[in-house]
């Protein structure tokens, strides 16, 4: 679909786009990749290293909580922060009443570029999760060995721990950046022009879907670049420890310890506590609607879609893995390209899938479009990438020898898969399932377009209530969505702990 769009050149629009939009789009997109990339890397790796290799007050409580920003859809986080911090918001208003002038920091963060801050907050947990697992799974022992050879902690971090964790960090970064590229909700709330907003402008404003799809394919170039970088970084992988972590954490005592606690608390405060408080403040007057029968139904729908979609995504991930594992590098790359859906703006993808299903229906006389199947398929395409990361990383641990041994013992193929491959893949499967579950619950455009008649989910409710910019009205469904999303996130971090300790 992306490629065929070029068969119909749109010279007029392109002349216009390249003159007035493209330079800014490319500038903004590059800026976004750099700022969000550095932001999530520094916060994610920093926090992961603290929580995996050090010991300080409250660590066990704070560790798992740091993943919670994942439960916030970016559009919710964006409208919370803009409502809270912009010129007319409560904080700036109070500040002006107090000092008579506007706080420059808050003003700067409420401008369009402020959305980068939102994206960093929303996506650092990807890096945190993957880097933490990597530090715990083997990094710790190497870290201790290096220390015992007389290297200082800082030097050890940069010379030993970080290089070992690099594949994980890059995988997390790639996820974060792809989500940032595909984001529409947050960037449009802040008015930060990116490829996604331009795609919508060309499509909705100029009624030119073809040119919009062509823009989307340029966006894909950015994604391919990202994938290439990730590939390159992974090829350097080699150290994969199988052992349980045996090293000892650095005990941070006194002021140092509390500084570490403070850093984690600060991120938690900004990423979770403050937004949650603001949501509660907005939701409070409407709490009576909380137990409304319709809302219960909506929550149920969200869960059903989330679970079935996540299941499909995980199954798809396994198939992709089976198709590409232990094959040539080129095939592996193809497998990753198949997971590109993650960075396609949701609405464009939804339209493409809808068209495909309608065509199938017309040829085969079926009625797939508008049914659950189409929606689950959309989730599969969109979030395959999310499952791919965790699966691919655990698949790396399945040594061909294991399978060889089983084969030499005459174990039948399916039994082999069941008893050898599946248990080895299990942690990756669980992580993939939970991540996909959270993502699907937050997903908006594809759900809106492809859902069966009358199916309302929490994201759909939020859309309906915020379509005219009345964000406060959406506080109740947003709050439920965040709390619901926190469940798989909590399970995720718990399972991560079980594995690590």
Q: Which two tokens stand for residue 293?
A: 């029968």
Q: Which two tokens stand for residue 344?
A: 């396609």
Cβ-based neighbours of 322, under 8 Å, separated by 6 or more: none
Q: How far apart are CA 71 and CA 174, in angstroms?
A: 19
Q: Which is nearer to other proteins, 6 or 87 (CB)?
A: 87
Site residues (vs other proteins, CB under 8 A): 16, 20-21, 82, 86-88, 92-93, 111-112, 188-191, 193, 197, 200-201, 203-209, 297, 300, 303-304, 307-308, 311, 347, 350-351, 354-355, 358, 361-362, 369-370, 426, 430, 433, 445, 448-449, 452-456, 460, 463-465, 467-470, 491, 495, 498
Q: Which is nearer to other proteins, 167 or 370 (CB)?
A: 370
- 206-211 contacts, C-beta under 8 A, 24 or more apart: 206/13, 208/10, 208/13, 209/351, 210/5, 210/8, 210/10, 211/10, 211/13, 211/14, 211/17
Nearest distance, CB of residue 398 and other proteins, angstroms = 18
Q: Which is nearer to other proteins, 410 or 454 (CB)?
A: 454
From the CB of residue 9, how many other CB atoms can be counted at a distance below 10 Å?
12
Cα 299 versus chain centre, distance: 22
Q: How far apart are CA 314 and CA 387, in angstroms?
A: 6
Q: What angle do CA 361, 362, 364 make, to 5 degrees?
A: 65
Q: How far apart are CA 201 and CA 203, in angstroms?
A: 5
The SS3 of residue 252 is: coil
Taking Cα atoms as reference points, which of 450, 393, 378, 385 lies closest to residue 424? 393
Q: Which is nearer to other proteins, 254 or 454 (CB)?
A: 454
* Cβ proximity of 310 and 488 under 8 Å: no
Nearest distance, CB of residue 500 and other proteins, angstroms = 13
Q: Which is nearer to other proteins, 78 or 173 (CB)?
A: 78
List the alpha helices (DSSP H) in 418-457: 422-442, 445-450
Q: Which is nearer to other proteins, 161 or 301 (CB)?
A: 301
Sign of CA dihedral 107, 112, 116, 119: positive
Nearest distance, CB of residue 231 and other proteins, angstroms = 31
Nearest distance, CB of residue 19 and other proteins, angstroms = 8
Nearest distance, CB of residue 34 and other proteins, angstroms = 21
Nearest distance, CB of residue 451 and other proteins, angstroms = 8
Q: Which is nearer to other proteins, 415 or 426 (CB)?
A: 426
Nearest distance, CB of residue 21 and other proteins, angstroms = 6
Task: Give the strand pairing for 54-55 and 250-251.
Answer: parallel
Nearest distance, CB of residue 61 and other proteins, angstroms = 22
Q: Which is nearer to other proteins, 122 or 446 (CB)?
A: 446
Q: How far apart are CA 136 and CA 499, in angstroms?
A: 10
Q: Which is nearer to other proteins, 38 or 91 (CB)?
A: 91
User: What's the alpha-carbon Rg for the chain, to the nearest Å?
Assistant: 23
Nearest distance, CB of residue 327 and other proteins, angstroms = 28
Q: Which is nearer to other proteins, 277 or 304 (CB)?
A: 304
Nearest distance, CB of residue 110 and other proteins, angstroms = 9
Helix 329-338 with 209-235: angle, nearest 10 deg? 140
Q: Report the greatest alpha carbon distance in the chain.
A: 81
């Amino acid at each position: 679909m992306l490629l065929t769009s070029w068969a119909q050149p749109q010279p007029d629009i392109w002349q216009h786009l390249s003159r007035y939009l493209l330079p800014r789009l490319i500038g903004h997109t590059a800026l976004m990749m750099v700022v969000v990339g550095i932001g999530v890397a520094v916060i994610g790796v920093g926090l992961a290293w603290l929580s995996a290799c050090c010991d300080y007050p409250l660590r066990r409580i704070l560790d798992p909580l740091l993943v919670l920003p994942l439960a916030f859809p970016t559009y919710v986080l964006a409208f919370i922060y803009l409502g809270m911090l912009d010129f007319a918001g409560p904080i700036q208003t109070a500040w002006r009443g107090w000092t008579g002038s506007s706080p420059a920091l808050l003003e700067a963060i409420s401008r369009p570029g402020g959305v980068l801050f939102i994206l960093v907050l929303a996506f650092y947990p990807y890096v945190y999760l993957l880097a933490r697992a990597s530090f715990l799974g083997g990094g710790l022992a190497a870290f201790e060995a290096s220390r015992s050879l007389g290297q200082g902690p800082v030097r050890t971090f940069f010379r030993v721990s970080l290089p070992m964790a690099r594949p994980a960090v890059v995988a997390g970064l790639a996820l974060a950046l792809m989500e940032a590229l595909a984001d529409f909700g947050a960037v449009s709330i802040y008015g930060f022009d990116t490829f996604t907003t331009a795609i919508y402008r060309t499509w909705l404003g100029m009624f030119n879907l073809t040119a919009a799809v062509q823009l989307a394919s340029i966006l894909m170039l950015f994604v391919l670049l990202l994938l290439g970088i990730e590939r390159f970084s992974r090829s350097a992988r080699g150290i994969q420890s199988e052992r349980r972590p045996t090293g000892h954490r650095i005990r941070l005592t006194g002021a140092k310890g509390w500084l570490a606690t403070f850093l984690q608390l600060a991120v938690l405060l900004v990423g979770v506590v403050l937004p949650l408080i603001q949501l509660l403040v907005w939701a409070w007057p409407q709490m009576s609607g909380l137990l409304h029968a319709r809302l219960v139904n909506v929550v149920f729908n969200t869960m059903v879609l989330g679970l079935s979609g996540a299941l499909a995504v995980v199954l798809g991930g396994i198939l992709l893995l089976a198709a590409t594992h232990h094959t040539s590098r080129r095939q592996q790359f193809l497998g990753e390209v198949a997971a590109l859906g993650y960075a396609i703006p949701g609405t464009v993808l939804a339209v493409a899938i809808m068209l495909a299903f309608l065509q199938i229906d017309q040829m085969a006389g079926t009625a797939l479009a508008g049914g659950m199947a189409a929606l689950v398929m959309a989730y599969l395409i969109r979030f395959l990438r999310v499952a791919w990361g965790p699966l691919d990383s655990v698949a790396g641990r399945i040594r061909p020898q294991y399978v060889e041994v089983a084969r030499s013992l005459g174990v039948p193929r399916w039994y082999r898969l069941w008893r050898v491959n599946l248990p080895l893949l299990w942690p990756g499967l669980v992580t993939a399932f939970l991540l996909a579950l959270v993502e699907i619950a937050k997903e908006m455009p594809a759900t809106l377009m492809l859902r069966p008649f009358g199916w309302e989910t929490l994201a759909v409710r939020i859309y309906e209530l915020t379509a005219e910019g009345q964000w406060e009205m959406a506080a109740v469904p947003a709050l439920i969505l965040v709390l619901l999303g926190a469940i798989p996130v909590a399970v995720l971090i718990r399972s991560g702990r079980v594995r690590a300790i």
